Structure 1
């Protein structure tokens, strides 16, 4: 029987069918691991005794021989009596494992890495992708703290880290830089001191057309090395940053040099021709910011900053028509209902309203439409929580309706797509409106596909992921996630993956055990780092992890301090109740405002409902029931990122709790 040995993870052995052999207890596996570390050399019995016990028992030598005998029976069960063993042999003062290189995954991995010194990049990717798949966990995982295993474990770990970086380098060389980015991101999350990995990640981002992200990575590397190690980046990292800043030709040897020359000549001509034309420059700046916003996290952050500056500069010139164009040209699709920079959004809305009042009453319908749509989009999450929208608070709703009406009258596809984005952002005045949002998403998809508006076509698919989740149609959500990913790859829209990855984590959480669901959300959270969307990122991972615990009935406690971000007020009562602090939970519920009217509204009301039931708070139960009732046919999953299950289940729990308590309370 051919036996293979696994050291790249928990120590184990398999037969020819791939079934694990019965290696019995940890000491048996320790003997096997110690012999593998010796690389076919003899390990004296005295050495094994010293390694296995800090204070060896009196019969230690005999016990080691018993372990070896048990291992031999497991490794060669069909060996005839009195026949010498083939694998675990006795030699001189001790024992040796005479396995072939291909029979031990650690030895096989080492050989694979060693054979690639002069290999072509394509061969490197193929060989290392297979070899890295052999790892099931840390090398010698059962014995990581044993002194006899530390050196070999560290050596193999370093080989693995080198292999990850070597494969990434090969992918970059093959022109597949975008494929290298996720692996390097995950690699650095676990091993942030690897300077060469930082260099490769920045280079991969740059060659993927994400210059701002590349520079952001280099800033992170500098901060990490300086803050935690007290050292400056090495010369290779410093040189790479300088090269990226000046877009040095050697950074992208495979790029079409003609494109670079065209860009340089065009920008030089622009500088020369419009150097003193402030109005033209402002409009061009706003257009560039619109394109920059969809390039990734660094680009989005820069776009927000420069957009606000351009609007302020346009207002200073005193030309409302120019200001309208500068504000309106930034029609970047928006999917999340919490603003990344609420103060800046407030200033943009105020500028748009001032400009609307200053425009001549006749004409300028397209500009007016864009300004109204801007008001609707940038006012996301500002609907009143506990009362109907009236007066000033109803303005975003009115702006959305007016923008859509003008766009339909003008029969302008791009205007209508932007206006529908504003309408979507204002469809949260009550719970249970997933079907309405689904219809908006469907119209955006259809309109954009007919009129070649890929960014809005992606928006429509993302809206439909959210709405189909709320409507319980995961097959439909799957289709829209695939469509969004295809469009994102075709049109270089990296931020789309943030939402589709989180949706797939939600999908996993519905069918997988809690540990697998939590791991999926942890991986999804990696996509948020550097995304430039703090309004989405802040508090989301803890809330997603809480949703898994709630649905699986796991204990809920505050535990160690957690940054719940904007969700803290609606999470705290449930955590207090989980810790048995009922009086504090009731006090928190008594003073609790309604959650914001946004994509998390149903989910947060479900958390409030559970807390109210847990501490028998009838007033809050009735309040939560009234708010959730319009969503009775939906799932608490309208965000497309996390779910608390069917809303009906929470309503039933509330109803039952209220009915149980009503006689006692009335008496």
Structure 2
């Protein structure tokens, strides 16, 4: 069995004969499972991916598609014998095929091998030749397929350039001129591609054409794209002019990726805005680009690579703490090496990166004062430089470092207002989205649901025009939070309605590529909903409380009538981390202390919560609510 998705989706038998997969929905189910790379895809996710507005019998239809695909893929399977290719796993389905039997997996593996071992370039050429058109070409309207197409197309372009670089490094490549010329014409923003074309022309004995290509690259980058050419192009031009042998060799050395870091990090920045698997890949590629830049020893290049990933960040808990620590460490190393005399824009971007990546909840190894000071320094430098985009990035760091204590929603709203104003006046659409979401969160924290709803509507409108699919995921959570709050009003929605909206929002978030946000959020939302209606905590053992478990545990134990265990759990409760949920967690501690008569814990909670008396617990993230902080403050005070 061979399955191909690099082009239209198809399956072939070992003899090359086609497998009849059925209709478009059947092919889309198979393709979605291919994209999961052997991981289980839940039934709910498949339904959401197949239908923008799922019909009433969507799950039944999905099962019909799966049954038909199983018959097509394993026609000789005996009755009542479990399938071996398209298997049921947990709450969904998974595709079990060796990677070499799926063209996209063969391609990705060939690219990975060539990155590590240049001698594998022949296999990379064969994998590139297998492309029959855009990936998932017959699924043009599927949102998940669009994200995969974007990711795979960028990998294909990287593979084209990596293959050319390896061949040129090995002394070959004079025959690459035509292919690289077409590649550059189609993708003029890919700076390494211009260098590769110039090197191929030089290798073919066309020195004048090589120099003309570099001049054309400079004009294209500066005049049309507003980018300064990097060190690689400038050095190559000098080497060709002087007849240096270096003109025939790559500018990047050492193991790992051979694609220029500038292009890699630009790609990572673009993919980060797509969410889902693309977001996960973007974080990986960003770190690879930073490490490649550090290996060159070019401090200015390294600083620009680190600072180029100015992706707006909203949540105060890092999705990948280890990776964030690595980025912060690289930024700090580069700052130290550059010294105080470094260009102000480079210092500002590095400092802003430290502030943004030092998320207080997950980077306990980072000195909090250092991160806050980095945010202040980045802001001051950006204001002096009068660079709106840089100032918006620096203010993003200021925002993420503004969770030092409860009660700062109004302060964050001022930051969000300035980011939104900058973005609106200077055409920075993704930071406009960030500004709207910060203001949504602040209004939510202050209990102003009408203002928060207006910001949510505006953010959704911006997301539709900027292709930011993560935004509706976040605003769906806010709308569930608003439903929960309004359920406490006379004639308001029922608790069941609010719970259903939380569940729908949770299903969308599960595949959004933001584990730092996702883990534990849904159980905490359910707990808040129960507290709003004076009901005990949920006790379902399958709930994953994630990082919120220590603060929920005393209330869960109380709901199970395990009072002494609850008392013990409360006595060892740590102070909440300084993030979006700190007011909520202090309120849980206050509520449990009031129930158990723990005066010491109650006093700590009162001292922490007093500045937030006018805010709503848990609402600072705009995604859930436990109700007014004043309620819990009153309980603990009494």
Give TM-score scaled by structure 2 length: 0.65
Shift of 1:188: 7.3
Counterpart in 2 of 1:115?
none
Q: Find out whether 1:652 has 2:634 as its counterpart.
A: yes
Q: Structure 1 residues 308, 650: CA separation in 2 closer, same or farther (over 3 Å shift)?
A: same
Q: Find out whether 1:248 has 2:142 as its counterpart.
A: no
Counterpart in 2 of 1:439?
414
* 1:383–1:429 CA contact under 8 A, matched in 2: no
Q: Find out whether 1:276 has 2:250 as its counterpart.
A: yes
Counterpart in 1 of 2:355?
376
Structure 1 unaligned spans of 5+: 1-161, 170-176, 200-220, 657-667
Give distance in 2, aligned partners of 1:593 and 1:192.
Answer: 46
Q: Structure 1 residues 433, 197: CA separation in 2 closer, same or farther (over 3 Å shift)?
A: farther
Counterpart in 2 of 1:25?
none
Report SS of the residue matched to 1:555: coil
Give distance in 1, aligned partners of 2:386 and 2:93.
Answer: 60
Matching residue within 407, 412, 432 for 1:457: 432
Q: Deviations over 1:516-575 (max 9, x none)?
A: 111000000111122110001111111111111111112325343421001101100111
* 2:520–2:546 CA contact under 8 A, matched in 1: yes
Give distance in 2, aligned partners of 1:340 and 1:384.
Answer: 11
Give distance in 2, aligned partners of 1:419 and 1:548.
Answer: 36
* 1:383–1:394 CA contact under 8 A, matched in 2: no
Q: Find out whether 1:410 has 2:385 as its counterpart.
A: yes
Structure 2 unaligned spans of 5+: 1-21, 30-46, 70-83, 109-129, 142-152, 158-181, 199-231, 233-248, 254-258, 487-492
Shift of 1:585: 1.3
Matching residue within 518, 541, 551 for 1:537: 518
Give distance in 2, aligned partners of 1:415 and 1:425.
Answer: 16
Counterpart in 2 of 1:638?
620
Query: Where in structure 2 are the equivalents of 1:573-584 lying within 5 Å?
Result: 573-584=554-565
Shift of 1:239: 8.3
Max Rg structure: 1
Counterpart in 2 of 1:90?
none
Query: Where in structure 2 are the equivalents of 1:62-101 lying within 5 Å?
Result: none
* 1:557–1:579 CA contact under 8 A, matched in 2: no
Give distance in 2, aligned partners of 1:627 and 1:333.
Answer: 29
Q: Find out whether 1:499 has 2:474 as its counterpart.
A: yes
Q: Deviations over 1:608-651 (max 9, x none)?
A: 11111111111111111111101011111111000011111111
**RMSD of equivalent CA atoms:** 3.9
Counterpart in 1 of 2:575?
594
Give distance in 1, aligned partners of 2:451 and 2:600.
Answer: 38
Give distance in 1, aligned partners of 2:576 and 2:93.
Answer: 43
Q: Find out whether 1:546 has 2:527 as its counterpart.
A: yes
Number of residue pairs aligned between Structure 1 and Structure 2: 460
Q: Structure 1 residues 360, 241: CA separation in 2 closer, same or farther (over 3 Å shift)?
A: closer
Give distance in 2, aligned partners of 1:605 and 1:461.
Answer: 27
Give distance in 2, aligned partners of 1:585 and 1:196.
Answer: 47
Shift of 1:296: 2.0
Shift of 1:243: 11
Counterpart in 2 of 1:127?
none
Q: Deviations over 1:572-607 (max 9, x none)?
A: 011112222222112111111111110011111111
Q: Find out whether 1:400 has 2:375 as its counterpart.
A: yes
Higher alpha-carbon deviation: 225-234 or 542-551: 225-234
Matching residue within 564, 567, 575 for 2:545: 564
* 1:427–1:437 CA contact under 8 A, matched in 2: yes
Counterpart in 1 of 2:463?
488
Q: Deviations over 1:319-339 (max 9, x none)?
A: 221110110000000001100
Q: Deviations over 1:494-514 (max 9, x none)?
A: 111111111111111122211
* 1:376–1:396 CA contact under 8 A, matched in 2: yes
Shift of 1:246: 3.5
* 1:557–1:576 CA contact under 8 A, matched in 2: no
Shift of 1:360: 4.2
Give distance in 1, aligned partners of 2:104 and 2:297.
Answer: 43
Give distance in 1, aligned partners of 2:273 and 2:555.
Answer: 38
Q: Deviations over 1:432-455 (max 9, x none)?
A: 000000010111001001111000
Give distance in 2, aligned partners of 1:164 and 1:431.
Answer: 52
* 2:537–2:555 CA contact under 8 A, matched in 1: yes
Shift of 1:427: 0.4
Give distance in 1, aligned partners of 2:571 and 2:64.
Answer: 50
Higher alpha-carbon deviation: 474-483 or 181-190: 181-190
Give distance in 2, aligned partners of 1:276 and 1:331.
Answer: 28
Q: Find out whether 1:522 has 2:503 as its counterpart.
A: yes
Shift of 1:362: 2.0
Query: Where in structure 2 are the equivalents of 1:360-375 lying within 5 Å?
Result: 360-375=339-354
